[in-house]
Structure 1
Amino acid sequence: MNFRQRLIEVTTSMQRDLLPSLTRMYEGDDLDDLRVLDRVVLQVLDRDTAPTVKELAALIGRSVSWTSRLVDSLVRRGLAERHEDEADRRVRRVRQSEKGAALLRRSLEIRVDVQMALWNHFTEEEREVVLRSLEIYAEAARRIRDETHPSI
């Protein structure tokens, strides 16, 4: 079995075994109405600089018109806000609203709760190995972001 096949098998197994617990934890929460791409956009907006819709579209790999409709939906639901750029009033930027930030934090808390339940089944040595692996994974993700969108 090659690396790609192993990765698919491990990822599938983890999702199959963990997603039911994660879904149960979301029940009755405002998070029920969030789609995957809503979460992705809220996570992208969770940074110091607020992107324009065009920059946001590039970051999530969607068209500007599609991204604009998604942002409109998030704004209507109170999860995001559009605002004028302080340096150029013609430019509109997008940021998380307080409600959007709170919902994203809640989503992260639930995911961490599920992860912590999993971590309780590791030995201390296994925890260190997995945590270091996740740190390496996160650093690679930052490099991809910086290579793909260095100015954002």
Structure 2
Amino acid sequence: MGKHMNFRQRLIEVTTSMERDLLPSLTRMYEGDDLRVLDRVVLQVLDRDSAPTVKELAALIGRSVSWTSRLVDSLVRRGLVERHEDETDRRMRRVRQSKKGAALLRRSLEVRIDMQLALWDHFTEEEREIVLHSLEIYAKAARRIRDEADPSI
């Protein structure tokens, strides 16, 4: 248990340190976007080819249907997502990214990549290889978590 707590504490410390050092710069880079974390999550979920119903979207982001519906309404008013009728069942409404939402998500990714590239400039070649390999392992674990949560994706 002590070893696990040590790992957990180290993870908390390094994550806190990175966020404290990087978030102010990242916030300045996102200035004007006014996106909350869950707004960004919804746009990322909708970036897939599917167009879920609000109920399906709620399950994907782990929120209630009513809360998700209010979030979608807010994103619709801002022009970031669109509601549309299901082609096979007109009673169903589906949600998809708008062009504006897709462009904002792309810009968001570019900002994060620019920030990451700025970090890479401070690594040695050996450190870059270690970090890249670590990120590949991290991405595989994230994929396994996603597959366990929803194997249909």
TM-score (norm 2): 0.91
Q: Secondary structure at the match of 2:90?
A: coil
Question: For residues 147 and 87 of structure 1, what CA distance do their matches in structure 2 show?
Answer: 29
Give the whole-Å Cα distance in 2 for the aligned partners of 1:150 and 1:87: 24
- Aligned twin of 1:136: 137
Aligned residue in 1 for 2:14: 10
Q: Structure 2 counterpart of 1:2, which letter?
A: N
Q: Distance in 1 between matches of 2:52 and 2:138?
A: 25
Worse overlay, 47-56 or 136-145: 136-145
Letter in 1 for 2:50: T
In structure 1, C-alpha distance between the alignment counterparts of 2:85 and 2:45, rounded to whole Å: 19
Specify the alignment match of 1:150 in structure 2: 151
Higher relative contact order (CA 8 A, sep 6+): 1
Using the TM superposition, give the Cα deviation of residue 43 of structure 1 relative to its aligned residue in structure 2, in angstroms: 0.9
1:24 maps to a residue whose letter is: R
- Aligned-pair distance for 1:89? 2.2
Task: Structure 1 unaligned segments of length 5 or more: list them.
Answer: none
In 2, distance between residues paired with 1:42 and 1:16? 25
Give secondary structure in 1 for the equivalent of 2:88: coil
Query: How many Å separate the matches in 2 of 1:51 and 1:69?
Result: 15
Shift of 1:87: 2.6
| Sequence identity (%) | 88
> Displacement, 1:50?
1.3
> How much does 1:151 deviate?
2.8
Number of residue-to-residue matches in the alignment: 149
Residue aligning to 1:61? 62
Aligned pairs (5 A) from 1:25-44: 25-27=29-31, 29=32, 31=33, 33-44=34-45
What is residue 89 of structure 1 aligned with on the other side?
Answer: 90
Secondary structure in 2 matching 1:2: helix
Q: Which amino acid aligns with 1:106?
A: R
Letter in 2 for 1:8: I
Unaligned runs of 5+ in 2: none
- The letter of the residue matching 2:48 is R
Question: Counterparts of 1:91 and 1:56 in 2: how far apart (Å)?
Answer: 13
The separation in 2 between residues aligned to 1:128 and 1:93, in whole angstroms, is 42
Q: Aligned-pair distance for 1:150?
A: 2.3
